[in-house]
Amino acid sequence: MIKKKQLLLLAMILLPLVASAHDIEVKNADGVTIYYNYFNNGTELEVTFLGRNHFSSPNVYQGNVAIPEEVTYMNRTRKVTSIGEYAFCQCSNLTSVTIPYSVTSIGAEAFSGCSGLTSVTIGSGVTRIGDAAFNGADIPTVISLIENPFKITGKTSSTRTFTQNTFLNATLYVPKGTIDKYKATDGWKDFVFIEEENGSGGDTPTTQKCEKPTISYENGKLTFSSATDGAVCQYSITDTDIKAGSGNEVQLGVTYNISVYAAKSGYENSETATATLCWIDQQPKTEDITNGITNIPAQAVLIQSEGGSIKVQGVDEGTQVNVYGINGSQAGSAISQGGAATINTNLQPGSVAIVKIGRKSVKVVIK
């Protein structure tokens, strides 16, 4: 009896470990739930299936699915760089899929058995497609945005990337100026019908990229806007003052880091726009006063960087804004006009800049 109880207890302990193969699940811009595993030491995401294995969740993905370039989960934003083996396997009600340019790898049999697929768009960043990735799916339209095609498995192999019907009857649309490359590359050259986008084939379907959104702040409200009609902005805001610890004092910076990109079904996600939102005292002489600090008037300042240029919005006319490198050397300065100041620097993307407004200093990562 004791042994049976021990076995039952062991089974209950192991059950959560085998019940699911995915780490997180997040809805895309269209409200479709997509399942992911952490990838590359937790810094990236890989699309996967639901359940213990790919046989346990047929048709978990249905209709049109646009895989996002980035996913924000628990205030962490990660790029989606891989589609795992069997991720969409046997999803016969899947009708179209759009793979973003952030994805570099499509695993073996990732879309095998997706018999309802009518179109697939392969992002320009893909550099590897596993065996039989789209086998078992006779797809009428294949759009490849890859500029430099690499070898895939052709129609003479049992592990071919696409079905023989796809090779013989589908139209493969490729970027303008690359048709000769595709016709000379193993696997791709087995497509009988290859056309360049915007070429003689007429209205060839293409995948556009959403316009990078702008970020603005006014009267306590952040506003995100993309020029792509119908695009929905996906944002992440982290507060540098979220802290835990022990001691008698805590230094507060009242600074928010903002990250946002635009997404729309059938489009590639936009590039990510970032900004830093902070508050500075309207009366600089009060910045060192701690008593009655809640009564000190403050104003919101939005800081954005692009190509080494830093734009500061929300400062008073004539305010001196200085930018320094992390080593303390001055990288540029400007005096605000019309509530904004733009400082051109030679700081490289990825480097950290210190923006000083009056006596307030804020760290910003150069984009």
Q: What is the pLDDT of residues 211-248, one digit of tens each?
A: 889 888 877 788 898 888 888 888 888 776 666 666 67
CB 90 within 8 A of CB 54: yes
Tokens 């080494």 locate to 308
- Number of C-alpha atoms within 13 angstroms, CB side, residue 327? 4
Q: What is the pLDDT of residues 53-72, one digit of tens each?
A: 555 566 789 899 999 999 99
CB 93 within 8 A of CB 60: no
Q: What pLDDT is attached to residue 154?
A: 84
Q: What is the pLDDT of residues 343-358, one digit of tens each?
A: 988 888 778 888 988 7
Q: What is the pLDDT of residues 271-285, one digit of tens each?
A: 888 888 887 765 544
CB 141 within 8 A of CB 64: no
Q: What pLDDT is attached to residue 19?
A: 44
CB 176 within 8 A of CB 198: yes
CA gap 241, 216 in Å, rounded: 22
pLDDT < 70 positions in the chain: 1-20, 51-58, 198-207, 240-247, 250-254, 266, 281-297
The rounded Cα 329 to chain-centroid distance in angstroms is: 34
Q: What pLDDT is attached to residue 121?
A: 94
CB 171 within 8 A of CB 141: yes
Q: What pLDDT is attached to residue 132?
A: 94
The answer to whether the Cα torsion of 63, 194, 201, 101 is positive or negative is positive
Q: What pLDDT is attached to residue 186?
A: 94
Q: Is the pTM of this model over 0.75?
A: no
Q: What pLDDT is attached to residue 142?
A: 95
CB 296 within 8 A of CB 289: yes
Partnered with residue 15 across adjacent β-strands are none
Q: What pLDDT is attached to residue 48?
A: 93
What domains are defined for the chain?
A: 17-196 (3.80.10.10), 214-240+254-365 (no CATH)
Q: What pLDDT is attached to residue 139?
A: 95
User: How far is residue 265 from each of residues 34, 96, 156, measured CA to CA in Å?
Assistant: 14, 11, 34
CB 303 within 8 A of CB 278: yes
CA gap 30, 267 in Å, rounded: 12
SS (H, E, C) the chain: CHHHHHHHHHHHHHHHHHCCCCCEEEECCCCCEEEEEEECCCCEEEEECCCCCCCCCCCCCCEEEECCCEEEECCEEEEEEEECCCCCCCCCCEEEEECCCCCCEECCCCCCCCCCCCEEEECCCCCEECCCCECCCCCCEEEECCCCCCCCCCCCCCCCCECHHHHHHCEEEECCCCHHHHHCCCCHHHCCEEEECCCCCCCCCCCCECCCCEEEEECCEEEEECCCCCCEEEEEEEECCCCCCCCCCCCCCCEEEEEEEEECCCCECCCCEEEEEEEEECCHHHCCCCCCHHHCCEEEEEEEEECCEEEEECCCCCCEEEEEECCCCEEEEEECECCEEEEECCCCCCCEEEEEECCEEEEEECC
Burial of 104 (0-12, 13-18, 19+ CB in 10 A): middle
CB 120 within 8 A of CB 142: yes
Q: What pLDDT is attached to residue 17?
A: 41
